Amino acid sequence: MNVGTSDPNLLASPATPRAEGILAPPYRAATLGMVALISLIAFEALAVTTAMPTVARELNGLKAYALAFGGVLATSVIGMALSGRWSDRRGPAPAMWTGLAGFVVGLLLAGFARDMPTLLLGRLVQGLGAGCLSPALYVIVGRLYPEALRPKVFAAFSAGWVVPALIGPALSGFVVEHFGWRWVFLAVPLLAIPAAAGLRGAMHNLGPTDHQASGTASRMGNAIGASLGACLLFVAGQEHGWTVAVLLVPALALLFVCGRRLLPPGTLRAARGLPAVVALRGVAASAFFGTEAFLPLAFSREHDLSPMWAGLAISVGAIGWFSGSWYQGHYAKVSRQTLLRRGTVLMVFGSIAAAMSTFPWMPVAASVAGWLLTGLGMGMLYGTVAVLALSMSSEHEQGTNSSALQLCESLMVATTLAIGGSLFGVLLDVSATAAFAANFAITVALAVVSTIVARRTEPRA
């Protein structure tokens, strides 16, 4: 793996000229366009979660409820894999516009759907488009912004998720109730196209690199295999009894065989340098989102919180994430690896406190404080991992390695949720406490593993 000329051990907030910032004239349109796109993608993902029960009832598609979510995850894996290599070969523009077209067409198909199969088709196309967009955005960051500004860009990306996380579900519920569920899908294209228009000028000079990547056909086959594995995992998480094992075994096999070929060599063993950086993204995200999936249920069942209060408690994690990301991008004066070590330690202590919500005697405030710490640690490391990955990549590898970050996250989170969800379902009939404890034990263990992987992100001497 070639390493770029930039030093990946640079301080988290090196000195830069006062006039230069991510909203300085050379970068303003690109920054605003990218943050607006990310905000819209985030809002749509959160809004659909709120609207989907109504959609499934109206279209008589409750049996396909799981596939409406799992299908998006599955096709996004294909989009990520292809977009990274495509961006390296031809620059980010083709992948960006193709991804935007797929995202918009998928939303329109879903918004105008008259039956569940059409809605599922729209969701599959939408996932493919969203998967294409993410690596292309990372390549724009790597090739347009100087290294000193990249932490601030990723902090802005995190900000693009915070507002949708705080208001998205409530706003979606209002739209569904007063305007109909179709506008949850149809309103986003009206805003996404103008937002993307701001990127046209920024991408004008970001053409192909001199190096031409190979192995696209093989990568396509592995992406489809990993996508199928992710989809089977999602379906397995909704099943019970022997059906779970029948689906889970081939799903994990596909993910292991095909997924590992999409990642840098050594990722699964967290080899020192870039492989460990990619692995850390997957392990830490699994710990965070695996906890987030069951924490509202624990607050509701074990502490009798209303859905509104449980949702507000979960939003504290988003605030922590944004705060940690803003700190790493603007104020931290330590090395990137130090930020990773501190962030993972915060995640360990925070996830332990959040996991104690399993027990009714644990004060809710203490678990919420723990979730704040978990979000703070995640925010510190999430953008830092992206900065390191770009720093460790030569120009013709930025797309491939950016897609590897997101592929590792998607595949590992899907695996964690499927295994945790299946285990939860099996144990719930025995003891709710045991069911919650088993799932949170997995996520705490992942947080501990992330502290080990973080120490391996130093590049080889």
Count the domains in the chain: 2
Looking at per-residue pLDDT, the higher value among 85 and 344 belongs to 344
Predicted local confidence at residue 69, as pLDDT: 67
Q: Which of 180, 203, 226 is the last residue of a domain?
A: 203
The overall average pLDDT reported for the chain is 82
Let me know if residue 352 belongs to a domain.
yes
Asked if the model's pLDDT at residue 384 lies above 60, the reply is yes
Question: How far, in Å, CA of 253 to CA of 235, rounded?
Answer: 15
Predicted local confidence at residue 5, as pLDDT: 38
Let me know if residue 317 belongs to a domain.
yes
Predicted local confidence at residue 307, as pLDDT: 66
Let me know if residue 254 belongs to a domain.
no
Question: How far, in Å, CA of 259 to CA of 415, rounded?
Answer: 12
List CB contacts of 184: < 8 A, sequence separation 6 or more: 44, 47, 48, 50, 51, 111, 172, 175, 176
Let me know if residue 252 belongs to a domain.
no
What range defines the domain where residue 182 resides? 24-203
Let me know if residue 363 belongs to a domain.
yes
Q: Which of 187, 203, 219 is the last residue of a domain?
A: 203
C-beta neighbour count of 425 within 10 angstroms: 16
Let me know if residue 231 belongs to a domain.
no
Domain identity same for 191 and 279: no
Domain identity same for 165 and 45: yes
Predicted local confidence at residue 16, as pLDDT: 41
**Three-state DSSP class for residue 214:** coil
Predicted local confidence at residue 53, as pLDDT: 72
pLDDT in tens, 117-176: 899 899 889 989 988 988 888 888 888 889 888 888 988 888 888 778 777 767 777 888
Domain identity same for 423 and 324: yes
Domain identity same for 279 and 183: no
Asked if the model's pLDDT at residue 210 lies above 60, the reply is no
Q: Which amino acid is at 300?
A: S
Domain identity same for 388 and 302: yes
Asked if the model's pLDDT at residue 359 lies above 70, the reply is yes
Q: Which of 152, 181, 203 is the last residue of a domain?
A: 203
Domain identity same for 187 and 273: no
Looking at per-residue pLDDT, the higher value among 100 and 231 belongs to 100
Q: Which span out of 192-196, 284-288, 322-326, 432-436 was modeled with the highest average pLDDT?
A: 284-288
Domain identity same for 454 and 310: yes
pLDDT band at residue 17 using 50, 70 and 90 as cut-offs: very low
Domain identity same for 60 and 160: yes
* Of the candidates 239, 189, 238, 314, the residue with the CA atom closest to the CA atom of residue 69: 238
* Of the candidates 413, 426, 459, the residue with the CA atom closest to the CA atom of residue 70: 413
Domain identity same for 189 and 267: no
Let me know if residue 278 belongs to a domain.
yes
Predicted local confidence at residue 67, as pLDDT: 67
Asked if the model's pLDDT at residue 6 lies above 60, the reply is no
Q: What is the mean pLDDT of residues 59-77?
A: 74
Asked if the model's pLDDT at residue 108 lies above 80, the reply is yes
Q: What is the mean pLDDT of residues 244-270?
A: 86
Domain identity same for 49 and 190: yes
Predicted local confidence at residue 125, as pLDDT: 92
Let me know if residue 326 belongs to a domain.
yes
Name the β-bridge partners of 11.
Answer: 335
Question: Is the Cα dihedral 246, 61, 177, 185 positive or negative?
Answer: positive
Asked if the model's pLDDT at residue 342 lies above 90, the reply is yes
Which CATH number goes with the domain that contains 434?
1.20.1250.20
Domain identity same for 327 and 179: no
Domain identity same for 316 and 421: yes
Q: Which span out of 24-33, 198-207, 304-313 was modeled with the highest average pLDDT?
A: 24-33
